Structure formats: structure tokens, C-alpha cells
A and B are shown apart, each in its own frame.
Chain A
Amino acid sequence: GENVEQHPSTLSVQEGDSAVIKCTYSDSASNYFPWYKQELGKGPQLIIDIRSNVGEKKDQRIAVTLNKTAKHFSLHITETQPEDSAVYFCAAGGAGSYQLTFGKGTKLSVIP
């Protein structure tokens, strides 16, 4: 089955700096890669996703890049703000299967 590795497990950045979280996946059939943000006491919230026919996608301060050859994808957050502090999860899903396999999460702390 699919295996998703996520790094780092914790990340601290100064407010205004950029944050990068990286994930690798094992199943070359996976073609959907979402990112979720989970705040304390809440459910994961979908913040951005990318499909395998696209190399990069941006939404304001958030961007995701995908390298299909290397089987890795990354989340980039620019101009970080204290409200970006949360746990971020990457996931991978495949065609014909709507099941998602999640990474173990990255706890991002933005220091004011």
C-alpha cells in the first residue's frame, strides 16, 4: 500500500519568514496530494491540493509543488503569521481509490 513520509515533525519560524514542509510517497499510481491544517481541538481543514498533471499551485501565501519523478511534494508558506501555527498534514490518494494516506504531521510554530 501507499506510504507517506513527512518532514520535519516540528518547525519553528519567526513571523514573516517562510516555512517549508516536505513529503514523499511510495505509490507511483497516487495522483492527488492534499494538505490539511489542524488547529488544536479541531478537525483537519483542507488548505490546498495538487493533482499529478500539475507541477505547482499557489493560493495567496500558500503554494504546493509536486515532483512526480522523485515522488515528493512540498508545502510552502510565505510571510508566516502567528495564526499559521498549527499541525500540517500531507496526504496522497490514487485514481479509482478515494482513500487518503496521511503523513504523521508537522507542528508549525510561528514566533511573533
Chain B
Amino acid sequence: DSGVTQTPKHLITATGQRVTLRCSPRSGDLSVYWYQQSLDQGLQFLIQYYNGEERAKGNILERFSAQQFPDLHSELNLSSLELGDSALYFCASSVSVLAGVSYNEQFFGPGTRLTVL
């Protein structure tokens, strides 16, 4: 168990709908990362938040957005869903910087499987 939690575990919805995925990082971790994993694309980085602020963006669609709250949990919002958005969505967390030392280690949650019908 990595200490990162994600809810829900499974989500089935229809095209055009909007969903919210939730992530709680490990205790003490300030950074949250979101990844999309599909069969043909592997693990694709979507976005990173550090202590409530957006830090880096990857291949995130405009229909997708995220935020990190003061208690450090994060939500990924997916709207106007398409069939191609069906995938596993993972959240990872890391300390990032502690006492001036950079840490890259990312610890992944169990994921949310999104199915768009």
C-alpha cells in the first residue's frame, strides 16, 4: 500500500457527461500528479500540483481540469466525455522538496477505471 488513495475505484458514465476523480496524497507529500493510462498510450502525464498551485502540464486536454485543495487532496475533472477518454487514471504523490533537497520519487495510488459508454 503506497499511502495514496483514490476514489472511486470504478466509474461508468455516458458520452457528454462530466465526472470528478479524487485523490488523497501520502501524509506529508506536497505534490500531486495525474496520469492517464490507456492500452495504446501507456502512462501519460497530465498535470502536477505543488502545495495548491499548478506546477507542470503535460498532455492534458482542455476538457480536463484539476485542482489541489488546502488539505492537499486533489480532484481531476473530466467533462464532455468521449469514448476515447475510457482509461485508467492514476494519481501519484511526492514530497518534491524537503529541507532544500529535491525528491523525485512518486508513489502511485490504485487508480480509477473510467468507462465511457
Contacts and interface: CB of A to CB of B under 8 A. Distances in A.
Interface of A: 32, 34, 36, 42-46, 49, 89, 93, 95-105
Given A102-B43, A105-B42, A43 B94 contact: no
B56 A104 contact: no
Given A43-B2, A43-B90, A103 B105 contact: no
Interface residues on B, range: 20 to 34
A97 B103 CA distance: 10
CB-CB nearest 4 A-B residue pairs:
A43-B108, A102-B43, A32-B104, A104-B42
A92 to B, nearest CB: 10
Residue of A36, A43, A95, A96 with most partner-chain B CB within 10 A: A43
B45 interface: yes
A44 B108 contact: yes
Contacts of A49: 104-105
A44 B43 contact: yes
Most chain B beta-carbon neighbours within 10 Å: one of A44, A49, A93: A44
A103 B43 CA distance: 8
Contact of A43 (B42, B105, B109): B109
Dominant SS at the A interface?
strand
Contacts, number: 60
Interface string B78-117: 0000000000001000101000001011111111000000
Interface of B: 2, 4, 31, 33, 42-45, 48, 50, 55-56, 58, 90, 94, 96, 102, 104-111
B106 A42 contact: no
A96 B111 CA distance: 27
A100 B106 CA distance: 9
A31 B106 CA distance: 15
A98 B108 contact: no
Contacts of A42: 110-111
Contacts of B45: 99-102
B108 to A, nearest CB: 4
Contacts of A101: 45
